[in-house]
Amino acid sequence: MDHGEPGPGAESTGVAYEQLFHGHFGPMTRLAALLGADDPEDVAQEAFVRLHSRNSMLRDPHAAAGYLRATVVNLTRSRQRHLSVVRRHRPAVPEDVASAEAHAVRLESSREVVAALGRLSARHREALVLRYWLDLTQAEMAEAMSVSRGTVKSHVSRGLDALTALMEGTR
């Protein structure tokens, strides 16, 4: 027998299958959706593909509809199980990584700030570095610089003003 040629009754089977598809695809899709499938049309289509591979089921349209329903239920349940496993074992989302351009801009900005800091007076530079790079409190800064808290406040304020002026001059 030549497997390339349809056998006897294949044309009527194709018509019956087409009628079954048109009559049941919508209800099978709705069934899959109601059962919670994330892709109800795909589930319904897969059920029809599986039915088609079992052509003998088409002899009894009632048995075919039952087979489709059972297949939709099982496929939906299987996909939901699969998705729950995937969600439980999902790898950690990598942090956003800055682009090479953003990194280059940040490096250039850092160079500009460091260069501007180098042009400040020693006391203003010390105050800004202790405050913004080491995140020290005013008391800790006063102790490190051997000055009063009021002097620390003054050095930070004047240092920021001078740094701002220098940075605006470079842009």
Q: Which domains does the chain have, with CATH numbers?
A: 10-88 (no CATH), 112-170 (1.10.10.10)
Q: What is the DSSP letter of 148?
A: -
* Arithmetic mean of pLDDT, 36-49: 93
pLDDT at 64: 84
Lowest mean pLDDT among 1-15, 16-30, 55-69, 111-125: 1-15
What pLDDT, in 10s, does the model give residues 67-89? 899 999 999 999 999 888 888 88
* Confidence band for 30, pLDDT divided at 50, 70 and 90: very high
For the chain, the 3-state helix, strand and coil shares in percent, each to the nearest 5, are: 75, 0, 25
Category of 99 on φ-ψ map: left (φ > 0), alpha (ψ -120 to 50) or beta: beta
* Confidence band for 6, pLDDT divided at 50, 70 and 90: very low
Does the pLDDT of residue 168 top 90, yes or no? no
Distance of CA 7 to the CA centre of its chain: 50
* Arithmetic mean of pLDDT, 106-114: 81
